[in-house]
Chains A and B, each alone.
Chain A
């Protein structure tokens, strides 16, 4: 479990990163990027950095995603 979990999470992380770059629907891409932040925050926790994990969870998953979504709402949802 100790070694297995990071490997699986890394795979999901890379997949989410590729999806973020690839998806043409910006809302979906933003969702994928918030998955990246979520996994990064789990990693921070696993690496014994609870302060950073908390910040990344609040900033990366919460606020950054929110301001991205607001921006997309104000502009255009699909990449052309």
Chain B
């Protein structure tokens, strides 16, 4: 149960940061927090109490005693996608700072948001 709480609060806090923060680095941070939250939620859903990781490192391990492997595979993909988005976002942040000499979104805003 407590994992659900953790995942949900990460999603909500991250989204809150994206929606209200003025500093663009903070906005990107918020995005990555929310992503971590979604990943945690996915893994939590795949967990089964009292079972082990889906690796047959010992022949005595039984498939009935393992947790769901699919969410783990999905989260691996999601983490890497998140890293890619973050890296691109930060490159754009550097560009924006270069043009405007500020990280405050209200001072950057030229186009209508």
Where the two chains meet, the residues of A that have a C-beta atom closer than 8 Å to any C-beta of B are 6-7, 9-10, 13-14, 17-18, 20-21, 26, 29-30, 33, 36-37, 40, 43-44, 47-52, 55-56, 59-60, 63-64, 67-68, 70-72, 74-76, 79-80
Known: A30-B29, A33-B32, A75-B93. A21 touches B17 (CB 8 A): yes
Chain B residue numbers with a CB within 8 Å of A59 are 79-80, 82-83
A to B contact number (C-beta, < 8 Å):
140
| Residue in B72, B80, B93 whose CB lies within 8 Å of A71 | B93
Q: Are A55 and B79 in contact (CB under 8 A)?
A: yes
Question: Does chain A have a CB within 8 A of B94?
Answer: yes
Find out whether the CB atom of A52 lies under 8 angstroms from the CB atom of B14: no
Interface residues of B (CB under 8 A from A): 2-3, 5-6, 9-10, 13-14, 16-17, 21-23, 25-26, 28-30, 32-33, 36, 39-40, 43-44, 46-47, 51-55, 66-67, 71-72, 75-76, 79-80, 82-83, 86-87, 90, 93-94, 97, 102-104
